[in-house]
Amino acid sequence: MNAKVENLDPVIFERQGVRLTRSQVEAFGREIEALRDEVMSDLGEQDARYIRRLVKTQKSMELAGRGLLFLSVLPPAWLAGTALLSVSKILENMEIGHNVMHAQWDWLNDPALDSSTYDWDNTCPAEQWKHSHNYMHHTFTNVVGKDRDVGYGILRLSEDQPWNPLYLAQPAYNWALAALFQWGVAFHDLEYEKLLKGEKSFAEYRVQRRKIMKKVRKQVLKDYLLFPALAGPFFPLVFAGNLSANLTRNLWAYLIIFCGHFTEHAEMFSEADIENESRGQWYLRQLLGSSNLEGGPLFHIMSGNLSHQIEHHLFPDMPSNRYKELAPRVREIADRYGLHYNTGRLGQQFGTVLKRINRMALPNRVLRGLSRRRANSAPM
């Protein structure tokens, strides 16, 4: 009679040719957590100075930008004003707003930088952003069917998303999403597809939509009516400047965010993958589902340190100015476990994002045909 031998340390992870047992995954998780503890217990005055200085810089740039736009009759003033306003909107949305709403600065105990009360200069209401982003996206990162950031309900970015003919047009309308990114974000949490499927009540939908429209009205009033009106005869110039600044911020945010999870080697997961997921497995998924961007200090700040997307996903509530020092150490841990640490220059990474968008426009059966043909035509 054969005694059934129970494997006490089964392989629970197998991807990219790497196999990890349960105890290896948990050891990996503990190493990541040790990094977190080290930095979180070291937060202090310098970090506080960093964020306060940044807020000051951003607010000064915004005032200067809006001031210069009033002198729009001089073309250089229009250009400089628009540029300053664009940069200030990017800083506010990304390195300040996004990170404050992640509770990265709650430890300061400063009501001006508190995640529960902060609202950002964006048409998306903070409360809904925190639900769709902090909760849904950060918990279920790259889980098809759970993480609505995978395609934002309009793009197909994984073979596991069912294809339909509308996706054939996604290489084109993807650019529309980029240009209107803040609007996509604003209406994201409405989850209209859940409404269509009957998973969400009309009453809930209406309440949410009312809140969005309230925020939208304020944003539109400010940028497209009040500031232009204050400029009197130069109304159209200020209007155009504000429109351009919002557009620039939209394109930039889209670019950085798409490079964070949809590069070629960013892994996608299924709902089955996350059943009974342990903390260690969650860290693994964050690492493999995210991709970094390389660049200088200014680039990192302008990207809201989402250039350190991997570190941000491992430690979403850690002050973003600390990601940089952890990046090489996270990479070293990943290397030791044989895991891919996905990083590259912006151009490179975005190239692979576009490739994914173009490929996923096609149904899986065509994709398989294409790759077979490529394999056949390859030189022996």
Partner 1 sequence: MHLDSSSPRNGLMRRLGRALASPFDPEDYLALFDARYSSREILARVARVRRESDQAVTLELEPNRLWKPHRAGQHVLLGVDIDGARQQRCFSLSSAPGEWPVTVTVKANGGGGVSDHLVHRCRAGDLVSLSAPAGDFVIPEPAPERILLLSAGSGVTPVHSIVKSWLSSGQTGRLIWVHFERNYSSLLLGESLRELALDDRLDFRLVLSADTPRGGDFSGRLDEHWLTQQVQDAAALPLFVCGPQGFLDTVIDWHGRHGQGPLFHERFQQATSGGGEGGRVRFARSGGETEAAAGQSLLEAAEAAGLRPRHGCRMGICHTCKCRVARGRVRDLQSGEHRELNNQEIRICMHGADGDVELDL
Strands 292-294 and 343-345: parallel
> Is residue 11 close enough to count as binding partner 1 by CB under 8 A?
no
3-state class (DSSP) for residue 69: helix
SS (H, E, C) 306-363: HHHHHHHHHCCCCCHHHHHHHHHHHHHHHHHCCCCCCEEEHHHHHHHHHHHHHHHCCC
Element (H, E) at 11: strand 11-15
> Is residue 367 close enough to count as binding partner 1 by CB under 8 A?
no
Q: How far is the CB of 56 from partner 1 (least distance, A)?
A: 6
- Choose, by CB under 8 A, the member of 9, 38, 110, 325 that binds partner 1: 110
Closest by Cα among 103, 54, 105, 47 to 302 = 54
> Is residue 168 close enough to count as binding partner 1 by CB under 8 A?
no
Q: What string marks each residue from 111 to 140 as x (binds partner 1 by CB under 8 A) or -?
A: xx----x-xxx-------------------
Rounded Cα gap, residues 28 and 35, in angstroms: 11
- Choose, by CB under 8 A, the member of 53, 56, 355, 368 that binds partner 1: 56
Rounded Cα gap, residues 167 and 156, in angstroms: 7
Number of residues that bind partner 1 (CB under 8 A): 34
Nearer to partner 1, 122 or 305 (CB): 122
- Choose, by CB under 8 A, the member of 7, 41, 276, 377 that binds partner 1: 41
Q: Tokens 């250039």 map to which residue? A: 307
- Choose, by CB under 8 A, the member of 19, 53, 206, 222 that binds partner 1: 222
Nearer to partner 1, 45 or 199 (CB): 45
How are the residues of the chain apportioned to helix, strand and coil, as percentages rounded to the nearest 5?
70, 5, 30
Nearer to partner 1, 279 or 345 (CB): 279
Closest by Cα among 4, 8, 5, 39 to 26 = 8
Rounded Cα gap, residues 353 and 262, in angstroms: 6
Q: How far is the CB of 81 from partner 1 (least distance, A)?
A: 15
3-state class (DSSP) for residue 120: coil
Query: Which region, judged by CB under 8 A, interacts with partner 1, from 77-85, 220-228, 307-315, 368-376?
Result: 220-228
Query: Which region, judged by CB under 8 A, interacts with partner 1, from 128-136, 160-168, 219-227, 287-295?
Result: 219-227
Interacting residues toward partner 1 by CB under 8 A: 37, 40-41, 43-49, 56, 59-60, 62-63, 106-112, 117, 119-121, 215, 218-219, 221-222, 226-227, 279
